[in-house]
Amino acid sequence: MVPYLNQIIKETLRLHPTGPFLFPRLCRESVVLAGYMVPVEIHIVINAWAIMRNPIYWEDPESFRPERFDESAADFRAANFEFIPFGGGRRVCPGMQFAMASIWCSLAHLLFYFDWELPQQKRPQELDIEEDLNLTLTQKMIYA
Ligand code: HEM
């Protein structure tokens, strides 16, 4: 149960990262990346949301499949740059451990103490989880 809960949290953060764009970086020297010239002093915004749904790195990327982290060595320390819900490098989220402990503890309690079901006998596939892409990722239906 414990490892599976970790996999669920990872898969949730992969598909729905709290911060879809990392903080901007300033390019310190001109470089050609993937055929694109990136000039010095330009600001770069990294789209973590897109990287974590890129089919080059993720099999069946749109599916919620926590089991995928069973095989994958991806962790939060951004050694694997395809999985960066907390960013990476010098500006990696310093609250990462605290965030993980809080999510883990709250989720474990919610699952242990309550019996969950969807309203109006809805099936999970019918649940509207469409997102609003902003500075932070929110659910559209909350504001509807
Ligand atoms: C699920 C929870 C959280 C997620 C997904 C998250 C994600 C992120 C991301 C993606 C960044 C940008 C990293 C980068 O650009 O490389 C960031 C930065 C940051 N986070 Fe978090 N964070 C979370 C919780 C927290 C918590 C609980 C704290 C503090 C207690 C925190 C404090 C910070 C700070 C101070 C920065 C700026 C670091 C810097 O610019 O040097 N975060 N976070």
List the residue whose alpha carbon is closest to atom 26 of ligand 1.
Answer: 95
- pLDDT confidence of 22, banded at 50, 70, 90? very high
**What's the N-to-C CA distance of the chain in angstroms?**
35
Three-class secondary structure assignment of 95-128: CHHHHHHHHHHHHHHHHHHCCCCCHHHCCHHHCC
Opening angle at CA 18, ends 13 and 22, nearest 5: 105
Kindly report, residue by residue over 90-137, the tens digit of the pLDDT: 889 999 999 999 999 999 999 999 999 888 888 888 888 888 877 888
- Compute the distance from residue 119 Cα to the ligand 1 centre, in Å: 33
**What pLDDT score does 14 carry?**
95
**What pLDDT score does 93 carry?**
94
* Helix-then-strand count for the chain, H and E: 5, 6
**What pLDDT score does 139 carry?**
83
Query: Residues with Cβ within 6 A of ligand 1?
Result: 13, 17-19, 22-23, 85-88, 91-95, 98-99
**What pLDDT score does 144 carry?**
45
Superfamily, domain 2-143: Cytochrome P450 (1.10.630.10)
- Compute the distance from residue 27 Cα to the ligand 1 centre, in Å: 21
105 among the known binding-site residues? Answer: no
Tell me how far apart the alpha carbons of residues 86 and 32 are, in angstroms, rounded to a whole number.
26
Kindly report, residue by residue over 29-58, the tens digit of the pLDDT: 999 988 999 999 999 999 999 999 999 999
**What pLDDT score does 1 carry?**
65
Question: What is the domain partition of the chain in residue ranges?
Answer: 2-143
Q: What is the Cα gyration radius of the chain?
A: 17
